[in-house]
Structure 1
Amino acid sequence: MRFAVYEERRQQHVAVIGERDVLHRVPGARSINELLRSCEGLAALLDAGAAALAGPAGPHRSEVRLLPPLEPPTVRDFVTFEEHVEGMMRSLGDAPKVPEAWYDAPTFYFSSPYAVIGPYDEVPVPPGSRALDYELEVGAVIGTEGRDLTPEQARAHIIGYTVFNDWSARDLASRELQVGLGPCKAKDTATTLGPYLVTADELEPFRDKEGFLRLALTAEINGEVIGKDLLSNMSWTFEEMVAYASRGATVRPGDLLGSGTCGNGGCLAELWGRRGERTPPPLVPGDTVTLTVEGIGSVSNTVVEGVPPVAIPTARHRSRQRP
């Protein structure tokens, strides 16, 4: 089942996608986050969706503006594709050897939920950046609260999936990471989610014997295919990622866990590392990036001019006086 959030006459609605992409409103639901909390699990969410489909048909999805399918309270973005790590090491001028620590556990960082935008919204160039990049990922959405979960337990806590574009300002990131923290402002302008929240049961037919979802991933810039990969090339399953995220911590309904960027052109920086030059070049205003995930759908965002950065002084060298 596919759930969407749309705007019509300045009002926000939650809907289920019916036949021929017609929207069926879910009565009483103001957001998917609210719906997830009230349903407390996949079975109840599917029941709510079935009731909506039995009700009156609303507008066609093309007649309204689709919003992000959820407003995640937390965004954990992992790095689970070995090929992507190799490409990024090359792009930084290092040998393509993956750090040994990467193999220990599915590492992640926390991204800003306030940067989330809709599947077709415009993306401004981050202030001060001249090296904007896309990142093709899939996001898993938590449906029920859990803590210290095993991978086997974690499957029941994943309620659905969405396409995730983790936009990145590569020039800002390269500077920030030298401090030993971050990235921060390099990934603080836009995070695309959408077009739908696809419930977990819809993707079970794609699951392989190892528990990975064998979904085709495609990245295009201005209609030209730049990258292709399979989601099953991840080195950890989403269930293992959820289990790790819940270690000594709590995951709650609406939390988003990103797969990390796929390989083979899942982002431009990886290709730059492989080719030794910036081809294709960084994104500029007018470029449209379309990311497609089999079984989930496509998001398509056009880059627009950003605003100049507000001036901030450099660090002051203090005298280090003591009280």
Structure 2
Amino acid sequence: MRWITYSHREVPTGAPTPTSAGLVVDDTVLGTAPGTRVRDLLADPDPLEVIGERLVKDPHEVVPLAGVRLHAPIPDPPTVRDFVTFERHIEGAIKLAGGDPPVPPQWYKAPTFYFTNPYSVLGPEDDVPLSPGTTLFDLELEVAVVIGEPGRDISADRAERHIAGFCIMNDWTARDLQFAEMEVRLGPAKGKDTSLTLGPMLVTPDELAARRSGTAYDLEMTASINGEVIGRDSCSSMNWSFAEMIEYASRGTEVRAGDVLGSGTCGGGCLAELWGRNGLDAHAPLRPGDVVEVAVQELGTLRSRIVEYPSA
């Protein structure tokens, strides 16, 4: 099933924009009651598949998909953890620091992550502002899982039952700010604090079963800037599985319904890799007016326009 958070496009400019959770069936949205969040559905004892079956029989409203505005499927996650699970990405990105350093040995020992800002979440139709102070703004194409069933100390062999669904994640990054912060062995902080795009839909695991490949999914991932493809990879290239990510995230603590766990950038899914392998002249950093498209097979496409950070 494919779940969205949506609002009606005919809401007058400046008026409040009420949102609802909805189920996409072909080109139609089956809506829940106004104000119902996807997070509210995750709190239901029944899984999304069962909730969806009830909604098909008795929707609050039925509207064309073309007539709604899409918001982040989880616009208010309790937490966002972002991992680094693609070896090709880390190989290319660390070259940007200079020389030809190897992948740190610790990377192979645990699926490392950092916490990023849940208040910065944007939807698939939102413009993306440059982070204040940056001159090296970048994209990061990822696949994210959303936790449905909460838990603590979850073992990898049972972790997948805690996944409510998958969506695309674009972890926008100010590389210059990121690298400056990490010189003091902390961060990233302000380098990744302003924008994080999620969407366009939350796709339940059953929709991806046919694309299963080992512990991941054979889903093509493509990143483009102004129509030019800058990189491609497959989700199946992950060196750490989503189950291992959940196991590590929940060790000694808990994960809750609505928590977002990002896979980390796929190989070729950012400019940092191009810069690391070919120099800063390989591609201009993102600037206002640029249009970035990131697509993942079965999960859809996020199309984002870069804009100046709004003045005070």
Give the TM-score band, short-chain normalised. over 0.9
Correspondence for 1:285 = 288
| 1:190 maps to amino acid | S
| 1:191 maps to amino acid | L
Task: After TM superposition, list the pairs within 5 Å mapping 1:241-320 onto structure 2.
Answer: 241-263=245-267, 265-307=268-310
Match of 1:217 among 204, 216, 221: 221
User: How many pairs were matched up?
Assistant: 303
Identity %: 48
Asked if 1:24 is matched to 2:30, the reply is yes
Distance (Å, rounded) in 1 between the aligned partners of 2:281 and 2:243: 36
| Structure 1 residues 157-186: Cα deviation after superposition (integer angstroms, max 9, x where no partner) | 111000000000011111111111111111
Distance (Å, rounded) in 2 between the aligned partners of 1:235 and 1:19: 34
Correspondence for 2:14 = none
Change (3 A) 1:141 1:298: same
| 2:51 maps to amino acid | A
Asked if 1:109 is matched to 2:122, the reply is no
| Conserved 8 A contact 1:41-1:157 | no
Correspondence for 2:196 = 191
Asked if 1:180 is matched to 2:203, the reply is no
Change (3 A) 1:27 1:151: same
| Conserved 8 A contact 1:2-1:198 | yes
Distance (Å, rounded) in 2 between the aligned partners of 1:228 and 1:90: 19
Distance (Å, rounded) in 1 between the aligned partners of 2:149 and 2:225: 36
| Structure 1 residues 266-286: Cα deviation after superposition (integer angstroms, max 9, x where no partner) | 100111111123322100000
Deviation, structure 1 residue 28 = 6.6
Task: After TM superposition, list the pairs within 5 Å mapping 1:52-201 onto structure 2.
Answer: 52-55=55-58, 58-70=62-74, 71-201=76-206
Correspondence for 1:2 = 2
Structure 1: state its 5+ residue gaps. 311-323
Correspondence for 2:22 = 15
Q: Please state whether the residue corresponding to 1:89 is helix, strand or coil.
A: helix
Asked if 1:205 is matched to 2:215, the reply is no
Distance (Å, rounded) in 2 between the aligned partners of 1:41 and 1:158: 13
Distance (Å, rounded) in 1 between the aligned partners of 2:308 and 2:277: 29
Q: Please identify runs of 4+ aligned residues in structure 1 that moved more than 6 A.
A: none
Distance (Å, rounded) in 2 between the aligned partners of 1:55 and 1:11: 21
| Structure 1 residues 91-145: Cα deviation after superposition (integer angstroms, max 9, x where no partner) | 1113241011111100000001000000121001111111110000000111001
Which deviates more from structure 2 when the two are superposed, residues 25-34 or residues 270-279?
25-34
Distance (Å, rounded) in 2 between the aligned partners of 1:29 and 1:122: 23
Could you state the TM-score of these two structures normalised by the residue count of structure 1?
Answer: 0.90
Distance (Å, rounded) in 2 between the aligned partners of 1:134 and 1:200: 26
Distance (Å, rounded) in 1 between the aligned partners of 2:46 and 2:210: 20
Which deviates more from structure 2 when the two are superposed, residues 159-168 or residues 59-68?
59-68
| Conserved 8 A contact 1:173-1:183 | yes
Structure 2: state its 5+ residue gaps. 12-16
Q: Please state whether the residue corresponding to 2:198 is helix, strand or coil.
A: strand
| 1:195 maps to amino acid | P
Larger Rg: 1
| Conserved 8 A contact 1:29-1:35 | no
Distance (Å, rounded) in 1 between the aligned partners of 2:310 and 2:26: 41
| 1:52 maps to amino acid | L
